Structure 1
Amino acid sequence: MDLVEKLAAAMRTMERQLLEHSLYSLGATHDLGAGHLIEPFLHHSDSQGRKEAQITAADITQQS
């Protein structure tokens, strides 16, 4: 999680495509601890950003 926490600090300023990729990376960890990093993006101004955050939140709750 240390690596993706550093990534999360920059996510607020990323363009949509890079944000989507970053959210995917968080989801791929399947780490429930990533929830606090994903939560702000559930309210993102861009609907696609919100959708990706919802998918990511679902991914971290699934077993790998």
Structure 2
Amino acid sequence: MRRNSTSSLGALHPVLFMLLVYVISVVLAFFVCRMIYFSLHNETSSSTEMNLDKLEPLSAAR
């Protein structure tokens, strides 16, 4: 006679799959939010990187 029951791992397959999808999405969201946060709150300002302080004013603005 064949057994008609499934193993416990086979029964938990959809649950394990959704947990894996959830963990991957949380990790990706963490890294995306971290990248956005650090790009908005960077240590150096963009004016010092581009040396905007030393640029001459435009001649058309005079």
Q: Same fold (TM over 0.5)?
A: no
Select the structure of larger CA radius of gyration.
2
User: Whose relative contact order is higher, 1 or 2, with alpha carbons under 8 Å and at least 6 apart?
Assistant: 1
**TM-score w.r.t. length of structure 2:** 0.28
Q: What is the TM-score when the length of structure 1 is the normalising length?
A: 0.28
